[in-house]
A = this chain, B = another copy of it.
Amino acid sequence: MTPDSLASSPRLYVTAPIVSGAEMAVTDAQSHYLLAVMRCVAGDVVRVFNGRDGEWRARVAPQGKRRATLRVEAQQQPQIPEPGPWLLFAPLKSARLDPLVEKATELGVARLMPVITHRTVVTRVNLQRLAAISIEAAEQCERLTVPQIDAPRSLADVLQDWPSAAPALYFCDEAAVRGGHAVPIIRALDDARDPAAFLVGPEGGFDPAEQNTIRACSFTTSVTLGPRILRAETAAIAALSCWQGVFSRQGVVSAK
Contacts and interface: CB of A to CB of B under 8 A. Distances in A.
Given A177-B256, A241-B238, A242-B241, A140 B184 contact: no
A234 B100 CA distance: 10
Interface residues of A, number: 43
A255 interface: yes
Given A184-B249, A255-B177, A256-B177, A238 B244 contact: yes
B227 A248 contact: yes
A239 B244 CA distance: 10
Interface in A157-215: 176-179, 184-187
A256 B179 CA distance: 7
A253 B225 CA distance: 11
Interface stretch (A42-50, A66-74, A101-109, A147-155): A101-109
Nearest to A238: B241
A186 B230 contact: no
A225 B248 contact: yes
A131 interface: no
A255 B253 CA distance: 30
Given A103-B237, A186-B186, A248-B184, A254 B242 contact: no
B242 A226 contact: no
